[in-house]
Amino acid sequence: MKLPELPPFDHEPKKYSGPSADEVLHLRKQFLNPGIFLYYKKPMMFVEGKMQYLWDEQGRRYLDALGGIVTVNVGHCHPDVVDVVRKQNETLQHSTTIYLHPNVAQYAQKLAAKMPGDLKVCYFVNSGSEANDLALLMARAYTGNYDVIALRNAYHGGSTLTMGTTGNRGWKFNVPHSFGVHHAITPDPYRGLWGRDDVDAGKKYAADVKNLIDFATSGQVAAFIAESIQGVGGCVVFPDGYLKHAYEHVRAAGGLCIADEVQAGFGRTGAHYWGFETQDVIPDIVTMAKGIGNGCPLGAVVTTPKIAAALAQRTHFNTFGGNPVVCAQGSAVLDVIDREKLQANSLKIGNRILGGLGKLKSKHNIIGDVRGKGLLLGIELVKDRQSKEPAREECGQVMETCKDMGLLLGKGGLWGQTIRFSPPMCVNEQDADFLLEVLDRALGSL
Ligand code: PMP
């Protein structure tokens, strides 16, 4: 049977002459952190990227439907981004906040212009973990309170503090880390107590936040932190009204509300620029990373002038945060998203994929749930729709088969049972159809 074909694309990859994948694997085993993991049985090596595609060392092309790791929002090596960064690299690579530099100031202004309400003060860091660390510190410094409410099934980072807020045993070491952190139940309409047929589900899940405040804290909290759509947890979309009610409970207890937009921000959800807008709330602090810089080490925390003032009690310094090169890159990314109308494209192509996934669900019983917004989508695989037993091995198998056909996907959920789709926001209809065709074949071959 003829394999699905990748849409035509005009780019000739350079001939690769570096070490083989086997040699790199050998080096990696010898000299790199043994805690890292590889996605495929035969590890893949990619040596070139252009827009939504990657090339392996043999020159074979793949559709990157994971988008780096939800990082490459505007496309691999987008020419406008590359150009701006190259110019800045040739001019001044490093400078910090002890001197003035136009890039960081102008980029902060541009990023603040994208934010609603009073969210106008930016801090720049190098990663999502750092951004969330800083947000939690800020909330504690501002409120004078200690306790933090996070969610089960969340991922907020690998630093000690953010590991504490992460709600998944796979990422938590058995060391002291959860100081003052309490995890509310996951507002998951598929696996949780209340489903999509319950219009009050959001309110009911949020009641657990109030319950935690009443029974696990002094009654006063520093913060509530949540992703707007849980990413690593397997693309869990909260029921309408969840964040609104949760925020009310938290604010009544003196706490600030932190939205982790590391995966959901920058137009990816399609209908909105920020993921929290899909829940109709305005947070007190917003954290960003990954797609903010299209894959460069850039993270940000944006808050109000009043909250920011609390962090002026001491010197707050970050050596690389906001350096001229990443600010140039972040700024170019914001421009490309607007110029190429990538948010609207996320909505259009995201809906096409979502519709196709819905059809695959009626064909393949292994798909227990289809969900997501824009180009942040997932399907949860189960051995049985009644028991919802996670189909972990099958999920891995589907990913292998898709990879063999030229499609790279992501994985999420506690058991690795959810396939995730978060391609660069420049994907087109043919890419969407290719993805669905390949996935259909892979599911059919189980
Ligand atoms: N928040 C979310 C929602 C994330 O998905 C991640 C990374 N997977 C982080 C924070 C941490 O980001 P980093 O790996 O850049 O520290």
Tell me: pLDDT of 1 over 80: no
Ligand 1 atom with minimal separation from the 154 CA: 3
Q: Between β-strands 236-237 and 229-230, what pairing exists: parallel, antiparallel or unpaired?
A: antiparallel
Phi, psi of 297, deg, nearest 5: -70, 85
Report the residue count for the chain: 446
Residues 6 or more apart in contact with residue 78 via CB below 8 angstroms: 51, 294, 332, 336, 426
| Ligand 1 centroid from CA 163, angstroms | 10
Mutate to test the pocket of ligand 1, among 36, 37, 70, 155 (most ligand atoms within 8 A of CB): 155
CA-proximal residue: ligand 1, atom 12 (nearest): 128
| Ligand 1 centroid from CA 327, angstroms | 19
CA-proximal residue: ligand 1, atom 10 (nearest): 156
Contact 219, 183 (CB under 8 A): no
CA 61 vs. chain centroid, Å, equals: 24
Q: Which residue has the tokens 């028991």?
A: 387
Helix ranges (DSSP H) in 9-95: 21-31, 67-70, 79-91
Ligand 1 atom with minimal separation from the 264 CA: 3
231 band by pLDDT with thresholds 50, 70 and 90: very high
| Mean pLDDT for the chain overall | 97
316 band by pLDDT with thresholds 50, 70 and 90: confident
Q: Convert the pLDDT of each residue in 27-77 to its tens digit.
A: 999 999 998 889 999 999 999 999 999 999 999 999 999 999 999 999 999
Tell me: pLDDT of 197 over 80: yes
Tell me: pLDDT of 365 over 80: yes
| Ligand 1 centroid from CA 129, angstroms | 6
**How large a percentage of the chain has pLDDT more than 70?**
100
Mutate to test the pocket of ligand 1, among 290, 301, 418, 420 (most ligand atoms within 8 A of CB): 290
Contact 342, 336 (CB under 8 A): yes
Tell me: pLDDT of 283 over 80: yes
Ligand 1 atom with minimal separation from the 299 CA: 15
| Ligand 1 centroid from CA 298, angstroms | 11
| Ligand 1 centroid from CA 130, angstroms | 9
| Ligand 1 centroid from CA 359, angstroms | 31
CA 52 vs. chain centroid, Å, equals: 17
Q: What is the mean pLDDT of residues 9-25?
A: 97
| Ligand 1 centroid from CA 132, angstroms | 9
**How large a percentage of the chain has pLDDT more than 90?**
98
Q: What is the mean pLDDT of residues 193-212?
A: 98
CB atoms within 10 A of CB 280: 11
CA dist 140 and 162 (Å) reads 14
Q: Convert the pLDDT of each residue in 389-402 to its tens digit.
A: 999 999 999 999 99
Query: Which residues line ligand 1 at a C-beta cut-off of 6 Å?
Result: 127-129, 132, 155-157, 227, 231-232, 260, 262-263, 289
